[in-house]
Structure 1
Amino acid sequence: MKIFTAEQIRECDRYTIHNEPVSSIQLMEKAAQACSDWISENCKNHRKVIVFCGSGNNGGDGLAIGRILYLKGFNVDVFVNALNQKFSDDASVNFKRLKDFSGIDVKTFQEIDQYHFDHKTIIIDALFGTGLSRNLEGEYKMLIDKLNEKENTKISIDIPSGLFADVITGTDSTVFKADYTLSFQFWKKSFLHPETGKHTGKVIILDIDLSKEYISDTKTSDFVIDDTLVENIFKPKQEFSHKGTYGRVTIVGGSYGKIGAEVLATKSALRTGAGLTFTLAPKCGYEILQTSCPEAMFKEGGTEYIEKFDIEENSVCGIGSGLGTHTDTAEAFLRFLKQYSKPMVLDADALNIISRDNKNIKLVPEKSIITPHPKEFERLFGSTADSFERVELARRKAVEYKIYIVLKDHHTQIITPEGKVYYNITGNAGLAKGGSGDILTGVLASLLAQGYTEEETAVFGVWFHGRAADFAAANYSKEAMLPTDVINEFGNIFEEINKKATNKL
């Protein structure tokens, strides 16, 4: 799914109105109907709704939502700035329609202090849409501050009021804190970054039939990984195939006390479908790895840490899990990089060794995939003020060094050498445990070995890793789930995507 800027979204609205058989007021009605249907279906234990409406088209959406929910049997009250408020043209139409219903009370913002909010009242925010370009102040700031203090379920229409669509909102700015954001057609970039996404709650994308032609023809460098993209990438196993069909992978890592990381990376490579899996580790991990991963072939790279990188011929390397940064390991790894030219997957201590000298990044083979978390990224490329700046720096570095950067975050970003950014929306806080990154290394190396392109590997692998974590969280909870639980869900994910890919029931 493409991510558009606020201006591109407005242009998409205009294009749809001018080129499709729909007027602006009809498009507003369609958006309001989609929101009302979702609220009616998902809020069955709530029968009272309060809608806070601004004077623009976001407010017009709110006015229409209030009317439709009233017709669906909800008790509805609407708050506006003033009873003689001047609205936008379409919002004005919906305000007149609303006033035809005597059962809907229209109140002013000043009356909020006297209003009774029972615990089953839903608060709907339709104050400001994507056109907002400055921080809230005055009565609107005071209003949202008061609403944020309420413990009621809160729903924002299209975007939480006070939040900007394309850029970071100041940390001291007032923003409506939604439990759900019902957004039209597209993800907004601000939903996907931690500084701003914390205000959205759960994001629900509602299809309101905006012009498919405009969406297809309009260019962007930012994308959300959705099911359609993944299904187009995925390659089901063919019946007439053999282990040689699915490539060789060598997982390189482990050191005394950190063999578990190598086990996790190896297991995930095996479970993701590589034809042959080798594990290069120090001798101290031999019995552990052969016992826990008997399907993988062990190659000794040292005694208590890796001293030599003897990579199996024609295999894809996944390097870094539990590797350690011993002087001998670091020297051997850098020598290996100087003589190796094939794309590989680098994580953890492999990146920490590279970051010791900013010249080392030039040794990474083109088209390789590196998977830093924010601190590792900072050590490699420098600090940034926020995650928005970080992804732009990653974009420049991916282009400069012709590598793929998997920038791990709540919504992990995959940045390509062409400067494209893919945001992943699978995964959860249960992955905030040691070992989760080791699993991802194994997944990526395995997919790359199986013949997926580097871009396909990064996009599919990150989505797959997060999807398995969502299954694990459903079964064990985010708090109790372990990285091994994530690996154990791989089969369920493959079963799910195979059914979709082959259109089987």
Structure 2
Amino acid sequence: MSNFDVYAIPKMKILTADQIKKCDSVTIEKGISSINLMEKAARACADWIEENFELKNKFLVVCGHGNNGGDGFAIARMLYEKGFDVEVFINGDDLKFSPDAAINFKKIKTISGIDIKDFSEVFNVNNEKSVIVDALFGYGLNRELSDDFKNLIEKLNQIPVPKISIDIPTGLYADKIIEENSIVLKADFTLTFQFYKRSFLHPETGRFCGKITVLDIELDKDFIDEVETDYFIIDEKLIREIYKPRGDFSHKGTFGKSILVGGSYGKIGAILMSTLSALKTGNGLTFTIAPECGNIILQSRIPEAMFIGSGENYIDTIEIQEKAVYGIGPGLGKEEQTQKALFDFLESYQNPVILDADALNFLAENDKLSLIPKNAVITPHPLEFERLFGKTDNSFERIELAKQKAKELQIFIILKDHHTAVITPKNKVFYNITGNSGMAKGGSGDVLTGILTSLISQKYNIEKACIFGVWLHGKAGDLAAEEFSKEAMLPTDLINKIGEVFKRLN
């Protein structure tokens, strides 16, 4: 399943570190003391640990001198009260704590059953039942770690026991990239408060976070409702607001007409998967435009779809039909006649269209981005994105360039990655948290093209179709991984799980 758990989070906004700090302050101003807010955060962490670990585990809580360290001191106390064996590790040369951290440090000093040791002593861990809790910096880190802390983190990473980071793994920033080869604690679990951090969602930084659980500590709801951001999480609450259950008094015309365009000699499987996924997503009428060499394969495997032949081994024309939504690109090939057919189509067709795979490569190679209709959806993976729009140094920069291009071209960009992002013409970014590495196989993107084409043809608003489509695609992939494993699951297994996702939504 997904690397994320959400415990009753009221909003799916992603805030900057400064906005989170302001949210904390507003919450405190409205009636809860800072020490009680720290207590609430620590209680949420301790309860999660109690649910997920056994009493035979021994917890080694490594604490800094700021409020993240204060969380750690409080967690240590609460775990001890729950019956766990606990040790606390601090920098013995620096006992200047933040005011709230100092209060919680004094509390654990009075507990004879909790040993307080220097950082250097944590390296002697030899109990395989030990668990390290990282409470060193939290989201407030805004500069590179000192050499002493780098040394500490490197050694902690070498200890072969589970590691839990409180709020954010030490060495990561909340909302920006880290330098290459930065020293970061490699967590198995991250327990974060109220909000996702953008760094959880990018490959350069998210790989340090392990399984992420977002804990609701009841920060001020009015502030969360009113604060503005361009970044959001696609969660199930949002999907249930978007999803339109199928009405009883309806017919095939109610659910739209999709035309999937693609396939070439040796690549008929790609357009077959797009067509099948469009049908599984609920399309009323589904057509496939493909070369004649794919006729028997498509008609025998998907009798529910209608076949339109175009060329012998490669597509040479793309027929325009009224009141249809087109998904173009899977398995299209690289032939000149196919390229001309695509360009001729785009010059005449001004309605929304989904462009993927070889269709994107044609546009990039010929500098034809101006042919993309407004409100079109493009679905590049990072390399295809680079071909289209140019090289970036990291995935944070790639998102920012995608925002710029989506606004400039007035299109929707679905940037495929470990956490696929939907970028809208209004510069909003929606990160998807369903899906898994088992989907990193040829054909998964073809399935997404079919899903998106189907949803838009069913009259979903384009933005909502993109959000729902990437979530549905990832959720079906999670169910496929559960049954078959990430290694063995196939894109066709994913297609066959789409129905199970709809059953759960219903």
Name the TM tier (shorter chain): over 0.9
1:407 corresponds to which residue?
A: 415
Q: Secondary structure at the match of 1:229?
A: helix
- Supply the distance in 1 between the matched residues of 2:240 and 2:28 (Cα, whole angstroms): 31
Once the two structures are TM-superposed, the CA of residue 84 in structure 1 deviates from its matched residue by: 6.1
Contact 2:320 2:345 in 1 (8 A): no
2:372 equivalent to 1:364: yes
User: CA 1:27/1:468 → structure 2, altered by over 3 Å: closer, same or farther?
Assistant: same
Q: 1:286-320 deviations in whole A, cap 9, x for unaligned? A: 01000001000101111111000013321100000
* Paired residue type of 1:388: F
2:6 corresponds to which residue?
A: none
Q: 389, 397, 400: which is aligned to 1:392?
A: 400
Equivalent positions of 1:265-414 (< 5 A) are 265-358=274-367, 360-414=368-422
User: CA 1:440/1:388 → structure 2, altered by over 3 Å: closer, same or farther?
Assistant: same
- Supply the distance in 2 between the matched residues of 1:112 and 1:68 (Cα, whole angstroms): 20
2:41 equivalent to 1:6: no
* Paired residue type of 2:228: K
- Supply the distance in 1 between the matched residues of 2:55 and 2:381 (Cα, whole angstroms): 41
- Supply the distance in 1 between the matched residues of 2:174 and 2:379 (Cα, whole angstroms): 27
2:75 corresponds to which residue?
A: 65
2:92 corresponds to which residue?
A: 82
Root-mean-square deviation over aligned CA pairs: 0.9
Q: 142, 146, 161: which is aligned to 1:152?
A: 161
Equivalent positions of 1:250-269 (< 5 A) are 250-269=259-278
The runs of at least 4 consecutive aligned structure 1 residues that moved more than 6 Å come to: none
2:490 corresponds to which residue?
A: 482
Structure of greater relative contact order (alpha carbons < 8 Å, 6+ residues apart)? 2
Percent pairwise identity: 57
1:164 corresponds to which residue?
A: 173
* Paired residue type of 1:87: F
* Paired residue type of 2:158: E
Q: Secondary structure at the match of 1:156?
A: strand
- Supply the distance in 2 between the matched residues of 1:83 and 1:93 (Cα, whole angstroms): 19
- Supply the distance in 1 between the matched residues of 2:143 and 2:155 (Cα, whole angstroms): 20
* Paired residue type of 1:72: K
Contact 1:411 1:424 in 2 (8 A): yes
2:189 corresponds to which residue?
A: 180
- Supply the distance in 2 between the matched residues of 1:84 and 1:429 (Cα, whole angstroms): 43
Once the two structures are TM-superposed, the CA of residue 45 in structure 1 deviates from its matched residue by: 6.2
Contact 2:125 2:159 in 1 (8 A): no
2:42 corresponds to which residue?
A: 32
Q: Secondary structure at the match of 2:140?
A: coil
* Paired residue type of 1:90: D
- Supply the distance in 2 between the matched residues of 1:100 and 1:331 (Cα, whole angstroms): 79
TM-score by length of 1: 0.97
Q: 1:98-136 deviations in whole A, cap 9, x for unaligned? A: 1121000000113234x3331110000000111111111
* Paired residue type of 2:392: T
2:485 equivalent to 1:456: no
Structure 1: runs of 5 or more not aligned: 499-505
Q: 438, 441, 449: which is aligned to 1:430?
A: 438
Once the two structures are TM-superposed, the CA of residue 141 in structure 1 deviates from its matched residue by: 1.1
* Paired residue type of 2:171: G
Q: Secondary structure at the match of 2:365?
A: coil
- Supply the distance in 2 between the matched residues of 1:84 and 1:378 (Cα, whole angstroms): 48
Once the two structures are TM-superposed, the CA of residue 357 in structure 1 deviates from its matched residue by: 2.4
Contact 1:250 1:311 in 2 (8 A): no
Q: 193, 218, 221: which is aligned to 2:202?
A: 193
Structure 2: runs of 5 or more not aligned: 1-11
* Paired residue type of 1:237: R
1:105 corresponds to which residue?
A: 115
- Supply the distance in 1 between the matched residues of 2:44 and 2:346 (Cα, whole angstroms): 54
Q: Secondary structure at the match of 1:355?
A: helix
* Paired residue type of 2:348: Q
Q: Secondary structure at the match of 1:40?
A: helix
Once the two structures are TM-superposed, the CA of residue 324 in structure 1 deviates from its matched residue by: 0.7
Q: Secondary structure at the match of 1:102?
A: coil
Count residues in correspondence: 495
Once the two structures are TM-superposed, the CA of residue 398 in structure 1 deviates from its matched residue by: 0.2
Q: 1:173-209 deviations in whole A, cap 9, x for unaligned? A: 1111100000000000011000000110111100000
- Supply the distance in 1 between the matched residues of 2:374 and 2:268 (Cα, whole angstroms): 29
Contact 1:59 1:91 in 2 (8 A): yes
- Supply the distance in 1 between the matched residues of 2:225 and 2:461 (Cα, whole angstroms): 23
